[in-house]
Amino acid sequence: MTGSSMKLVFVVARARNGIIGRDGALPWRLPSELKRFKSTTWGRPMIMGRKTFQSIGRPLPGRDTIVVTRDAGFAAQGVDVARAIDEAVRMGELRARARGVDEIMVVGGAEIYAALADRADRIVLTEVNLAPQGDAVFATPDPAVWRRVSTETVEPAPGDEAAYAVHVYERLTPNPPPH
C-alpha cells in the first residue's frame, strides 16, 4: 500500500498460459474487455511503462497517465513522466488525491508489475481463454499472498476472440506502511 488509505491496484489481462503481451501489443482482440478496462480505470491515475504507453499511442481520456521510463529524452503531450517507480507512485498519489479517489491503477507492462508486486493491494485479473505465443508474462497470483474475492465469467461479445473471466484478488496481509 502506498499511503494510509491509498491503494495500488493492478489491472491486467493475461492468457491461460500467463502471456500478457507480444511485440509490445496485446495478443488478442477483445473489445468488450477494453470497455471493462475503461470503466475500471476511469477517473483514476494510471501508472504504466513507456512501452505500454507507446502501444496505446496516446493518453487515455478521463484518467491521468503516468509513464515510467529511464529514457531521459522521452516526453509525450498529456502525460506525466516519471524516471523512477517511486516517483511514479508519488505522482499517482497526488493525482488520486486531486481527483478525490483512493486508488492508483497499475496497467503494465511486465516490468512495472514486477517493480510494484510487493506494494500492490488488489489485482483485477482478466484471464483470457486463449494460449497465444508472447514475450511478456504475468504469473498466477500466489495463494499464500492473494485471496480471490470474486470471479465473473464473460462470454464473448461480437468482435471478441474468446471468452474471459475477471478475477479480483485482495492481498491477504496488508502491506506495512512506508518508512
CATH of domain 7-171: 3.40.430.10
Query: Is the pLDDT assigned to residue 179 strictly greater than 50?
Result: no
Q: 5 falls in which pLDDT band (50, 70, 90)?
A: confident
Q: Which residues contact 82 (CB under 8 A, 6 or more apart)?
A: 47, 66, 67, 68, 69, 88, 91
What is the tens place of the pLDDT at every residue in 80-130? 999 999 999 999 999 999 999 999 999 999 999 999 999 999 999 999 999
Domain ranges of the chain: 7-171
Whether the model clears a pTM of 0.85, i.e. scores above it, the answer is yes
> If DSSP codes are grouped into helix, strand and coil, which group holds residue 85?
helix
Q: 55 falls in which pLDDT band (50, 70, 90)?
A: very high
Element (H, E) at 97: helix 85-99
Mean pLDDT of 121-147: 96
Cα separation of 136 and 61, whole Å? Answer: 26
Strands in the chain per DSSP E: 7-15, 19-21, 45-49, 64-68, 80-82, 103-106, 122-128, 136-137, 146-154, 164-171
C-alpha separations of 149 from 26, 71, 132 in Å? 26, 38, 27
Q: Which residues contact 14 (CB under 8 A, 6 or more apart)?
A: 20, 125, 126, 127, 128, 137, 138
Query: Is the pLDDT assigned to residue 4 strictly greater than 70?
Result: no
Task: Return the bridge partners of 14, or none.
Answer: 127
pLDDT confidence of residue 176: 53
- Of residues 28, 35, 24, the one with CA closest to residue 111: 24
What is the tens place of the pLDDT at every residue in 8-29? 999 999 999 999 999 988 999 9
